[in-house]
């Protein structure tokens, strides 16, 4: 399938968004105080990596360039003790969750726009599946926040 210049540009933009999600989830898995949240961030980071691979494959020879982000993550987030001393752990974790929920809302909206710009039904379907997973990420974050009195 030959992509138009606009489709290539949109995929590259979405690739950058996925790289940012991977970076943030990886760092936040290290920073979170609650082990359940660390695990959630790690799980969502791994799904974002799959999205990035899918987009890279869609771009094929047009993928170009190295990742802009370092893909920083803890070796074992459950053992990380980065919760700063003297702070309210729940408020700290709530901030991380709110930031990622806002990010997921943004990324889901960006996929919505991208989907409408693709002519090939198979590519549209692939992007739609990624968007659904982004919405599921938002739902998981919301559920965690609601369960812990953060929403």
DSSP 120-131: -HHHHHHHHHHH
pLDDT of the residue at 29: 95
pLDDT of the residue at 83: 72
Question: Does residue 121 register a pLDDT over 60?
Answer: yes
Give the domains, in start order, of the chain with CATH numbers. 5-61+86-147 (1.20.1260.10)
Distance CA(146)–CA(97), nearest Å, equals 11
pLDDT of the residue at 103: 97
Query: Measured on CA atoms in the order 96, 140, 116, 65, is the torsion positive or negative?
Result: positive
Question: How confident is the model over 71-117, as pLDDT tens digits?
Answer: 555 666 555 556 777 789 999 999 999 999 999 999 999 999 999 99
Neighbours of 72 (CB within 10 A): 12
Question: How confident is the model over 16-74, as pLDDT tens digits?
Answer: 999 999 999 999 999 999 999 999 999 999 999 999 999 999 999 666 555 555 555 56
pLDDT of the residue at 53: 97
Distance CA(77)–CA(37), nearest Å, equals 10
pLDDT of the residue at 85: 76
Contacts of 62 (CB under 8 A, 6+ apart): 3, 8, 11
Q: pTM for this one?
A: 0.89
């Amino acid at each position: 399938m030959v992509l138009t210049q606009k489709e290539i540009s949109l995929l590259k933009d979405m690739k950058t968004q996925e790289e940012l999600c991977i970076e943030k989830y990886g760092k936040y898995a290290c920073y979170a105080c609650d082990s359940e949240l660390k695990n959630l961030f790690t799980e969502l980071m791994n799904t974002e990596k799959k999205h990035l691979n899918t987009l890279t494959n869609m771009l094929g020879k047009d993928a170009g360039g190295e990742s802009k982000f370092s893909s920083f993550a803890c070796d074992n987030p459950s053992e990380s003790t980065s919760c700063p001393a003297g702070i309210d752990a729940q408020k700290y974790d709530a901030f991380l969750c709110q930031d990622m929920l806002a990010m997921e809302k943004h990324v889901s909206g960006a996929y919505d726009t991208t989907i409408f710009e693709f002519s090939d039904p198979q590519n549209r379907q692939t992007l739609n599946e990624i968007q659904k997973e982004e919405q599921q990420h938002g739902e998981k974050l919301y559920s965690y926040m609601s369960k812990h009195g953060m929403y």
